[in-house]
Amino acid sequence: MSVEFGKRLVVAETPIPGLLIVDLPVHGDSRGWFKENWQRQKMTDAGLPDFGPVQNNISFNDAVGTTRGIHAEPWDKFVSVTTGRIFGAWVDLREGPSYGTVFTTEIDPSRAVFVPRGVGNSYQTLEPDTAYAYLVNDHWSPDAEYAFLNLADETAAIAWPIPLAEAEISEKDRNHPRLEGVTPIAPRRILVLGANGQLGRALHAEYGEAAHIEYATRADLDVTAPGLDSVRRWRDYGVIINAAAHTAVDQAETPEGRASAWAANATGPAALARIAAEHGITLVHVSSDYVFDGSSASPYGEDAAFSPLGVYGQSKAAGDIAVATAPRHYILRTSWLIGAGSNFVATMASLAERGIDPRVVDDQTGRLTFTADLARGIRHLLEADAAYGTYNLTGSGPARTWADIARDVYQATGHDPARVHGVSTADYFASAAGPVAPRPRNSMLDLDKITATGFTPSDANSALNAYLAAR
- Domains, the chain, ordered by start: 10-181 (2.60.120.10), 189-469 (3.40.50.720)
Residue 139 annotated to the active site: no
Residue 237 to residues 112, 160, 195, 241, 245: CA-CA distances in angstroms?
Answer: 27, 35, 17, 11, 21
Mean pLDDT of 299-314: 97
Per-residue pLDDT tens for 201-220? Answer: 999 999 999 989 999 999 99
For the four alpha carbons of 17, 19, 25 and 28, in that order, the dihedral sign comes to: negative
Residue 71 to residues 99, 367, 376: CA-CA distances in angstroms?
Answer: 14, 52, 36
Structure confidence at residue 218 (pLDDT): 93
Does position 200 have pLDDT exceeding 60, yes or no? yes
Distance separating alpha carbons of residues 340 and 424, to the nearest angstrom: 28
Assign 221 a pLDDT band (cuts: 50, 70, 90).
very high
Structure confidence at residue 2 (pLDDT): 63
List the catalytic residue out of 99, 123, 132, 134.
134
Structure confidence at residue 432 (pLDDT): 86
Distance separating alpha carbons of residues 283 and 223, to the nearest angstrom: 13
Alpha carbon distance, N-terminus to C-terminus of the chain: 74
Q: What is the CA radius of gyration of the chain?
A: 28
Whether a cis peptide bond, with omega within 30° of 0, leads into 213 is no
Assign 29 a pLDDT band (cuts: 50, 70, 90).
confident
Tell me the percentage of the chain whose pLDDT exceeds 70: 100
Assign 460 a pLDDT band (cuts: 50, 70, 90).
very high
Residue 290 annotated to the active site: no
Distance separating alpha carbons of residues 293 and 309, to the nearest angstrom: 6
Per-residue pLDDT tens for 60-94? Answer: 999 999 999 899 999 999 999 999 999 999 999 99
List the catalytic residue out of 71, 207, 212, 380.
71
Structure confidence at residue 1 (pLDDT): 53
CB 162 within 8 A of CB 65: yes
Structure confidence at residue 143 (pLDDT): 77
Per-residue pLDDT tens for 1-24? Answer: 567 787 899 999 999 999 999 999
Strands 359-361 and 365-366: unpaired
Distance separating alpha carbons of residues 280 and 137, to the nearest angstrom: 9
Distance separating alpha carbons of residues 112 and 119, to the nearest angstrom: 16
Assign 145 a pLDDT band (cuts: 50, 70, 90).
confident
Virtual CA dihedral for 161, 163, 167, 171, nearest 10 degrees? 130
